[in-house]
Structure 1
Amino acid sequence: MTDINLNSLSFEELRALEKNVAKTIKNFEERRRKETLSKVEAIAKEAGFTLADLLDSVKPSSKTALPPKYRHPENADLTWSGRGRQPAWYKEAIEAGVTERELLVMT
């Protein structure tokens, strides 16, 4: 690798060098991505699949929000489904003597 005396370069030369380095890094990453993709496609083909076959079978999990079960007594925007950690407002209301039944969402 060539040693460059960065202290001897002007501001413009440093900016140009920075731009060239960023471009080279991007090209290097793209080249590695393409090489890796080719390897993965070859492995899939060897197993009798296309890459699309394998990717179609992988579905991202789609977590849907549960409907609210409890609602803050004063701020209707604050709700809780009843699952997971209890929100602070719920804990505070219970500690203040509000019953769980009073916090239920009426349907």
Structure 2
Amino acid sequence: MFAKSDLKAMSRKELERLLSDVEKALKAARTRDQREARKAAKKAAAEFGFSLGEVSETQPSTPVKKRAKAKKTSKPSKPMYANPDDQQQTWTGKGRQPHWFRNQVESGTAPDAMRI
């Protein structure tokens, strides 16, 4: 093994070569571990009378269909209040109060008096 002082004494090229060697060794170790895992899996499947291909799910078994969420089409709310000065101006009672409604209330008109 390398000590920290050994690494500090190495040149950049030597460190890059060492890094390359370590990456190759890691790749070989991964391949070896995969091969051993596959052998162990085959042995475990054989104990139950199956081949590894029968046990492994290479394709998902009967894919679950996701239901498309139905979008609710909201109906426009019915107006609850109308401007006494201009009946074309209405308000549903939801959201911000329109200026005409606020002005009427400030001038003393009861909200129930403007109800449709």
Q: Aligned in 2, Cα 1:61/1:20: closer, same or farther, shift over 3 Å? A: farther
For structure 2, the 5+ residue unaligned runs are 75-93, 97-116
Q: Secondary structure at the match of 1:69?
A: coil
User: 1:24 Cα deviation (Å)?
Assistant: 0.7
Q: Which has more radius of gyration? A: 2
Identity over the aligned pairs, expressed in percent?
23
**Separation in 2 of the partners of 1:30 and 1:64?**
37
Q: Which of 46, 69, 72 lines up with 1:70 in the alignment?
A: 72
Superposition map of 1:32-47 within 5 A: 32-47=33-48
User: 1:26 Cα deviation (Å)?
Assistant: 1.4
Superposition map of 1:1-107 within 5 A: 2-4=1-3, 5-56=6-57, 59=61, 61-64=63-66, 66-70=68-72, 96=95
Q: Aligned in 2, Cα 1:15/1:96: closer, same or farther, shift over 3 Å? A: farther
Q: CA RMSD in A?
A: 3.2
- Corresponding residue of 1:100: none
For structure 1, the 5+ residue unaligned runs are 73-94, 98-107
Q: Secondary structure at the match of 1:70?
A: coil
User: 1:30 Cα deviation (Å)?
Assistant: 1.3
**Separation in 1 of the partners of 2:62 and 2:9?**
52
User: 1:25 Cα deviation (Å)?
Assistant: 0.9
- Count of equivalent residues: 75
**Separation in 2 of the partners of 1:25 and 1:49?**
32
- Corresponding residue of 2:99: none
User: 1:39 Cα deviation (Å)?
Assistant: 0.5
**Separation in 2 of the partners of 1:12 and 1:35?**
35
Q: Aligned in 2, Cα 1:49/1:11: closer, same or farther, shift over 3 Å? A: same
